[in-house]
Structure 1
Amino acid sequence: MIDGTSSTALVRLVRDTALASGVSAPLITALPGATSLDDDRLRIPLATLGRLWELLAYSLPEGTAGLRVAESARLGSMPAWDYLLANGVDLGDALSESLPYHRVVTAAEEHFEVHDRDGAVEIEYRTTIDDPRTSAAVHEYVLAYYLRRAREATRRDIVPAKVTFGHAAPPDHGPLVRAFGTDRIEFEAERDTILFAAEDAHVPLPDSDPRLAALLRDHAGMLLETSRPLPDWREHFRIALESELDLGAPTLDAVAARLVLSPRTLQRKLSEHGTTWRAEVDTARYQRARRLLAQDLPVDTIAARLGFTDDRALRKAFHRWSGHSPGRERRRLTRTDRFVAPADLGREIVRS
């Protein structure tokens, strides 16, 4: 389920533009998923994208934040979407064929439509963001982005037949006039749209490749099927803890650094989730110890892998966790390993 989420590519684009525009880095890194943008199959909460837009919109003059993001959106910055728009019989065809895959870049909740207006082609967009200044920046970005892609795909300096915005005109709308190449911009309209004249919308795209277009649509469909939401914070923490456990004895400072948090903030967030650093480390070590015991590894080897100083330290900790020794646990696992699925290991209550 990827409803209520956005692509890592779009979040990365807005985040990087915000940082380059002087938005405070700590404000950005505190947002869920704002530092987890390397996997294109990961989906970031729409709330994170909305907050990034808000930070950017209020850091720049009205009427410029959206344009700043569009200027940063080089072709390929959102590859799963950008190249779909450049492949079709013509611009209108490319937009219509791409429409079903719009969720590869943003949320289904964001309203996006392509209309045929007697041969002309109109793009309509409506964001779910309520804040007027922020939503204005989003709409200005979206329409400027599609104009940029249209110019790149057709290799023509297209001037839109009409641009409409639902928000009021900014104090200085000169940047918008220059970006769109026209003063045919209507503010306080019913919808946010950009209209491409028929002679621009239906000129053959010089670099279009029908076979490539089909492959790109297949890729977009596969990306939608395999995408997954960002793990919740507790799961995100445990992934970081497991990564440190792979290296030996996990420390609060090291796990906090992976999460881009201070150690104090990490302890506070753990407390908010009803747990402690000690309890989480004990649980992770206990579950991993049981998995390693099932593999028939020597206890001293397991102790080293879990970051204990020696096997005696592991035996003491294991008795505290379970009430018995590692040897007894191994014998129990040996008797039951044919009947217990790996996912069931470690489900019993851990005493800390």
Structure 2
Amino acid sequence: MVGGRGTIFDPPLVKNGRGGGGGWSVSCKVPPKLRPNLRPCMKPLNAVGQASLQIAPVFGNRSEKQTKGCVSCGVCMSALAWCANPLCREEQLSLISWNIDGLDGDEQPERARSLCSYLTEYSADVVLLQEMVQPYMRFMHRRLGDEYAFIEGDWLDGYFTMMLLKKSRLRLLDHHIVNFPKSRMMRNLLVAQVEFGGQKLSLMTSHFESCKANSAERMRQLRQLMKMMSRAPDDQTVLFGGDTNLRDHEVAAVGLPGNIVDLWEELGEPEKCRYTWDTRANTNKEIPFKCRFRFDRVYLRRAGVDGVPLLEPRSMALIGLEKLRCGMFTSDHWGIYATFSVTHT
């Protein structure tokens, strides 16, 4: 693990049963020359120069070695870690986007329990869900209603999109639905205006037109999304996460405006996060061929006014990679867990 220039750490990772659905803690010995640069989340050091952090649960395959540390500190830094200290966490935002495949009736109770367990474990500030159905939503209200505010999209033949906003971290200002006028599947865009740490955010989620044959409509929906993100007030940060069903050539044909970035691309195109719909690894759907697509995407448009804090991408990881006892995964899609730091300009 890199902790400052030329310094390598590999501190021990220990299961932590306290609060927030568990998590992990790490203690690492910090070289004296780096201690003056520690942020509040790393203090106070103990007598032997160790700083304790609480970090996010291990991502993906639990048997893989993971990096450990605090995303906001220059010491013991890991892109997939979270610090538990409120002074540090106030300068971070976390997001989950996931098509939960509520339309699949197989093993729904166990899959719904697994979904809630993931959401509790990762405790993201913003959760963007697609293919939500009423049985899932009722169960989630019972499990997560005290912690999250629920925003429902329009019902589309029994399924819909939904946002969950952590009540302790974000304040809902307004929300509305934008229809895609030529959608044959009644798809739309769910938009919420929120306040986070004194700044305004515009959050968006959608489930774009499905199936290869609907490429033209899917690209129309992408163009409409890009226009909405670009035209948002300059003092707002805009975040979109959803199941776009997009193929790479479709995105290339439409193009992204210069002020909008694809989170996966912005973070260096990590191979482990490339495919969110992967029938080679995910066996929920019995189909005669194997395919891998990056259907699920996160887009960011930074605020463009001086003095407004900027959200800067820090990490992303895929979640839902563990097969359940019933033999299925939580969904046929992997979820995306993304973290952002707040940069004050």
TM range, smaller chain? under 0.3
TM-score (norm 2): 0.25
More helix by share: 1
> What TM-score does the superposition give when structure 1 sets the normalisation length?
0.24
Based on CA coordinates, which of the two structures has the bigger radius of gyration?
1
